């Protein structure tokens, strides 16, 4: 019997799907606790980068290696993001229907702040996966990169919000597609975000004259 060609497109596609399946399950299992969600998100980005750079260790080992390295900074980032998101969303929902124009203006300012913060936090997780630094350093660098790449950055939280928007507004459709989200959906979105981050965090070096 002829052995499969390990360099064929089919085999590579199966390997990529297996990696996404493992990352999806790891993210769901380790991020089930709100406290660990940020660390799990950073670990997914770290494992994706390791795959891209063909580092040794495999998906599972690289995931937990990054998780252990970034759990403090990324975990704090996750808790802070969820707290600020809840506060800003509550302000927007409670103030936008008020007859007072000042309250309405504050509502839309809260929404604008939420969008900006979502973009900044979307960059902090992959940065935390790369190296451990102070949170203030992550925040400063992420804000600078956000300002220089607004469109590409804002697309990331938009993609990651899709399953949650689906569950909230189209619950029946979300339940029908639940097996997809459990197996590949979230890691697939992280993979798209990782591709967007490549041009931001690893810009090509200018050609020498």
Read off the pLDDT of residues 156-199 as tens digits, 9 standing for 90 and up.
Answer: 999 999 999 999 899 999 999 999 999 999 999 999 999 999 88
**C-alpha torsion sign, points 144, 202, 193, 124:** negative
Query: What is the CB-side half-sphere exposure of residue 148 using CA atoms within 13 A?
Result: 12
Phi, psi of 31 (to 5 degrees): -100, 5
Residues constituting the chain? 209
The pTM assigned to this predicted structure is 0.89
pLDDT level of residue 56 (50, 70, 90 thresholds):
confident
pLDDT level of residue 5 (50, 70, 90 thresholds):
low
Query: What is the CB-side half-sphere exposure of residue 202 using CA atoms within 13 A?
Result: 10
Q: Cα(16)–Cα(132) distance, rounded to whole angstroms?
A: 28
Tens of pLDDT, residue by residue over 109-137, are 999 999 999 999 999 999 999 888 888 99
Least Cα distance to 76 among 116, 123, 125 occurs for 125
pLDDT of 20 higher than 90: yes
pLDDT of 4 higher than 80: no
Tokens of 14: 């199966």
Please say whether the beta carbons of 63 and 25 come within 8 A. Answer: no
């Amino acid at each position: 019997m002829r052995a499969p060609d390990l360099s064929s497109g089919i085999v590579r596609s199966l390997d990529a799907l297996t990696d996404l399946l493992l990352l999806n399950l790891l993210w769901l299992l380790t991020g089930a606790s709100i406290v660990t969600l940020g660390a799990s998100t950073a670990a997914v980005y770290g494992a994706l980068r390791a795959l891209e750079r063909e580092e040794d260790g495999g998906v599972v080992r690289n995931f937990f290696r990054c998780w252990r390295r970034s759990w403090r900074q990324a975990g704090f980032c996750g808790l802070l993001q969820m707290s600020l998101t809840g506060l800003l969303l509550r302000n927007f929902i409670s103030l936008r229907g008020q007859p007072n124009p000042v309250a309405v203006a504050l509502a839309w300012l809260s929404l604008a702040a939420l969008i900006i913060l979502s973009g900044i936090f979307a960059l902090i997780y992959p940065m935390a996966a790369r190296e451990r630094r102070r949170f203030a350093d992550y925040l400063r660098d992420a804000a600078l990169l956000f300002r220089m790449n607004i469109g590409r950055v804002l697309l990331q939280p938009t993609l990651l919000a899709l399953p949650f928007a689906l569950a909230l507004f189209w619950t029946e459709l979300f339940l029908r597609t639940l097996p997809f989200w459990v197996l590949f959906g979230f890691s697939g979105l992280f993979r798209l975000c990782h591709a967007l981050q490549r041009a931001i965090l690893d810009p090509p070096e200018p050609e020498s004259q």
